[in-house]
Chains A and B, each alone.
Chain A
Amino acid sequence: SQQGEEDPQALSIQEGENATMNCSYKTSINNLQWYRQNSGRGLVHLILIRSNEREKHSGRLRVTLDTSKKSSSLLITASRAADTASYFCAGAGGTSYGKLTFGQGTILTVHP
């Protein structure tokens, strides 16, 4: 079954603005991971947040995790045209070794 559901499905912003994407998941997780997919390419890992963490930063990325609400958010600050891509969250279950369950992603378009 689908683990993560991203919201919004598509987001269009201007360069320099912030982009926020949300993810909800259904079952318990060991950690939650965010990936980026450029058109015609594979997924690239961005950031991992463990179930006992609430917030994590990496460069222009900020991820939050609320296990009580089974939700996470990804904030990209000062967006650039090169950030245009699809963004996926994926829950890593503690009992299913290596199994990531992905949502359908948010398509982010950053206009120069």
Chain B
Amino acid sequence: DTAVSQTPKYLVTQMGNDKSIKCEQNLGHDTMYWYKQDSKKFLKIMFSYNNKELIINETVPNRFSPKSPDKAHLNLHINSLELGDSAVYFCASSPSGGGFNQPQHFGDGTRLSIL
């Protein structure tokens, strides 16, 4: 009964490769997010979608492209991976009522390691 699930859990790949991370939520939420957590545990928002529409797009290299085929899924594709992309990437979701500032539910993360 995983509420927010991400695949894969671990991703080890070479610099320059292209990779995707998938996220699905079964909570019926309208809003989904991608966060990046660095080695110092600092968590930073990357993107947010509400009902398949992009609403938050932080200063992220355009090598990162989110895609939301429906409101239950938000995938992250990364082109031309660089060493600095090594981090843990978290997907999250929340309901959109109350001005969107609702508690968020997180997946367990995808640990991306670039060799």
Given that A98-B33, A99-B45, A100-B45 are known contacts, is A45 also in contact with B56, CB under 8 Å in the complex?
no
- Asked if A105 contacts B105 (CB within 8 A), the reply is no
Partner among A35, A37, A44, A98 whose Cβ is within 8 Å of the Cβ of B48: A98
Asked if A104 lies at the interface with its beta carbon under 8 angstroms from chain B, I say: yes
Q: Given A98-B50, A98-B100, A98-B101, are A42 and B44 neighbors across the interface (CB < 8 Å)?
A: no
Q: Check B42–A92 contact: CB distance below 8 A.
A: no
Contact A88 B43 (CB under 8 A): yes
* B104 at interface, CB cutoff 8 A: yes
Q: Does A48 contact B (CB under 8 A)?
A: yes
Cross-chain contact A98 with B90 (CB below 8 angstroms): no
Which residues on A sit within 8 Å (CB–CB) of B40?
104
With a 10 A CB-CB cut-off, give which of B4, B44, B99 has the most chain A CB atoms: B99
Contact call A45/B103, Cβ cutoff below 8 A: yes
In the assembled complex, the Cα of A104 lies from the Cα of B39 at a distance in Å of 11
CB of B103 within 8 A of CB of A48, answer yes
Q: Which residues of B contact A (CB under 8 A)?
A: 4, 31, 33, 40-45, 48, 50, 55-56, 90, 92, 94, 96, 99-109
Q: What would be 11 A-B contacts, judged by CB atoms less than 8 Å apart?
A: A2-B42, A31-B101, A33-B103, A43-B43, A43-B104, A94-B99, A96-B56, A97-B50, A100-B45, A101-B45, A102-B44
